Structure 1
Amino acid sequence: MRLIGTLLVICMVFAVMKLAVMALLIALGIRLLMATLKHPREALGFMLMLATMSLIEAHPWIALVGFSATAMVTAIGK
């Protein structure tokens, strides 16, 4: 019975951690939307950089195109 209680407590801790991570992701999404409205060029560059970083391991040549697009977006406004 003690093992079952311990496992139940661990499951509850993981559920609370999952809820906290989801709340932080929702807050990040809202903050990114606000940043897009205030500073669209910087927010677009940030989103392009995130997309490129997710591609770099699986598709390195496509990531080079993404880095070029990010550089162009940031250079247009200057």
Structure 2
Amino acid sequence: MGSSEKGRSSGLRFRPGWHRAVGWLLLALGIAIIALNDAMQLTSGVTLLPGGHSELYLLAGIAVASTSMWWFGWMDRAG
């Protein structure tokens, strides 16, 4: 191993099982927020989230779901 390879990762990414569980939980939560927000728009008189239908819930759902990418290891550098 030369000095240029010292400290460089082998390209393998390892995440513990609980990271994947948190990732799936965040992904499901984000999709649920988006689905509940859309359901409130399609049905009249039903309030499923505090404050009723709002585009901010869509943005929040996207933000929550996209944070799951880090927990799945999609943001890790591949060496």
TM-score computed with the length of structure 1 as normaliser? 0.39
Q: Whose RCO is larger (CA < 8 A, sep 6+)?
A: 2
Greater helix share, 1 or 2? 1
